[in-house]
Chain A
Amino acid sequence: MTSNSASVVSARNLGLTFETSDGPVNALTGVDLDVAKGDFVSFIGPSGCGKTTFLRVIADLEKPTAGSITVNGMTPEEARRRRAYGYVFQAAALYPWRTIENNIALPLEIMGYSREDRKARIERTLELVNLSGFGKKYPWQLSGGMQQRASIARALAFDADLLLMDEPFGALDEIVRDHLNEQLLKLWARTNKTICFVTHSIPEAVYLSTRIIVMSPRPGRVTDVIESTLPRERPLGIRETPEFLEIAHRVREGLRAGHSYEE
């Protein structure tokens, strides 16, 4: 993408405090961040660092308590109402009573796409995630990796330029995860989407991202932003290059610096 000036997500001094029975919990404090169009941004950090919370704020699933955030220049709620993003959850969250193609049709039905349009889009997105021919299957007939691919297809089926992914491959084994990471990069190259990706795997973050946001807990905050120097074209083997290892090292250092050992 050439128009890097346009910010898809822009956060200024963003904070979110949960009121719990044990007193307030600072999930996020003072987050300043811009995600440019076409970026692949990873959020990495230990649990409790607010990476998922930040993603949920973008998606208007949580309301910030301080600062400001815009998504496509709008409030997150307006952006959600305009269906600006597709969200991929930690679990596939497919509806078990719908076939794979009907699961992909779910957002299309809700958003009022015509029957022919739905059919074409299902076909296209199934092909995009390598699930052609599995449309008539029910979720339980598919492996965990295939289910997660179906849920990505569901998020890609409608015209949202922003893809929010919350540890989508966290529950999968490493071999499947490698494979899906590779596919995700290809998909990103083909679709020109902006992707925000939450993970706690360093190799995954380095392999996928153009930018890596390192976060730390208590209070949840951004401790480092690393611009990747890797090319956009990334074969799996790139993970053994010195350049890759150096970025991974920097991420690890960032995580260590921000980590508190109180837990």
Chain B
Amino acid sequence: MRDESFLKDKLLPIGTVVLLLIAVWYVAAVYLNAPFERDTAGRASTEIGFSQIVRNTMAQERPVLPAPHQVIVEIWDTTVNKAITSKRSLVYHAWITLSATLLGFGIGAALGVLLAVGIVHNRAMDRSLMPWVIASQTIPILAIAPMIIVVLNAIGISGLLPKALISTYLSFFPVVVGMVKGLRSPETIQLDLMHTYNASPAQTFWKLRWPSSMPYLFTSLKVAVAISLVGAIVGELPTGAVAGLGARLLAGSYYGQTVQIWAALFMAAALAAILVMIVGLAHTAVLKRMGAKP
């Protein structure tokens, strides 16, 4: 496994798929944007050749589907070419959303772990809580998000926290489910061993259940951090927020700025990828410290 080359085993397959996707995207852009060009030409009663149509579909101001290079230019323009304090900087908007994501993820992970500890150690909590935890996720987040924001606004809480709480609402769930399984993952023989030592419940927890649950914790944290971001974006949509990736999406759709929408979408995707990657690195580091087989 050591002699796998980065070029051959990573770049080649991923690169091929990316190139293929871009090609498909260009074709789709031409196909979807062409009717507008034909209509325009028709209204002006001018003839328009195929090559001209193709050229025009690459550079529309409000295309149905912007071409990849338009999105890349927009991202470049709104990140590198703008001061990050500017309201037109995508970095600024991404940071607004990221801060809500991280706060919500933090609260959600902590809440999830606490609930899981309660469920594993307390029969009553196990019976009464789990159905509610599951029920909470059957309600569409789009329906509950505006209500959370409105209710919290009414009691004077606004800004970061309401959005973060929507992230929390989504992200605590995978952590509860993962950690309940993780904390119950020790084998009977390992638990019996603790019993023969007359270990206290706290000792059993810290010396056995908690370390056993680490792989489960990080797996659920990966899911949780990604949906935290979704939660924060959704939280920005119904409030007419002025800043954040959700606000960018909303403003883009109001004004038909499809290029802006796609740029915000890509930013969100990149952000999610980075967040998941960071959790993945933490996972590897923790398992390595715990002496896992490489």
Q: Interface of A with B (CB < 8 Å)?
A: 59-61, 80-81, 83, 85-87, 89-91, 93, 95-99, 106-107, 109-111, 138, 140
Contacts and interface: CB of A to CB of B under 8 A. Distances in A.
19 contacts: A61-B192, A61-B196, A80-B196, A80-B198, A81-B198, A83-B198, A87-B192, A95-B190, A95-B208, A95-B211, A96-B292, A97-B291, A98-B291, A106-B197, A110-B194, A110-B197, A110-B199, A110-B207, A138-B293
B291 A87 contact: no
B290 interface: yes
Interface in B244-294: 290-293
Nearest to B192: A61
B190 A93 contact: yes
Nearest to B290: A97
A61 B198 CA distance: 11
Contact of A87 (B193, B203, B292): B193
B203 A93 contact: no
A90 B190 CA distance: 11
Contact of A99 (B190, B194, B291, B292): B291
Given A95-B211, A110-B207, A89 B291 contact: no
Interface of B is mostly: helix
Q: Which 6 A-B pairs have the closest CB atoms?
A: A97-B290, A138-B291, A87-B196, A93-B189, A110-B197, A110-B199
Contact of B291 (A93, A96, A111): A96
B187 interface: yes
A83 B197 contact: yes
A24 B197 CA distance: 30
B290 A110 contact: no
A59 B197 contact: no
- Assign chain B's interface to a size class: 20 to 34
A107 to B, nearest CB: 5
Given A81-B198, A98-B291, 15 more contacts: A60-B195, A61-B192, A83-B198, A85-B196, A91-B189, A95-B190, A95-B207, A97-B211, A97-B291, A97-B292, A106-B207, A109-B207, A110-B194, A110-B203, A138-B291
A99 B195 CA distance: 21
A59 B189 CA distance: 13
Contacts of A95: 190, 207-208, 211
B196 A59 contact: yes
B193 A111 contact: no
Contacts, number: 54
Nearest to A92: B189
Nearest to B208: A95
Interface string B100-122: 00000000000000000000000
A53 to B, nearest CB: 13
Interface of B: 187, 189-190, 192-199, 203, 207-208, 211, 214, 290-293
Contacts of B214: 97
Nearest to A106: B207
A110 B195 CA distance: 11
A95 B290 CA distance: 10
A97 B208 CA distance: 10
A93 B188 CA distance: 10
A140 B293 contact: yes
Nearest to A89: B189
A86 B203 CA distance: 18
A147 to B, nearest CB: 13
Contacts of B194: 110
Contacts of A140: 293
A93 B187 contact: yes
A93 B199 CA distance: 16
Contacts of A93: 187, 189-190, 193
A226 B25 CA distance: 84
A107 B197 contact: yes
Contacts of A90: 189
Contacts of B208: 95
Contact of A89 (B192, B199, B203, B293): B192
B52 to A, nearest CB: 66
Contacts of A96: 290-292
Nearest to B289: A97
Given A97-B291, A110-B203, A89 B193 contact: yes
Nearest to A56: B192
Of listed B189, B214, B291, residue having the most chain A CB within 10 A? B291
Contacts of B197: 83, 106-107, 110-111
Nearest to A109: B207
Contacts of A61: 192, 195-196
A240 B179 CA distance: 55
Contacts of A89: 189, 192-193
A107 B195 CA distance: 11
Contacts of B290: 96-97
A126 to B, nearest CB: 18
A144 to B, nearest CB: 15
A158 B211 CA distance: 23
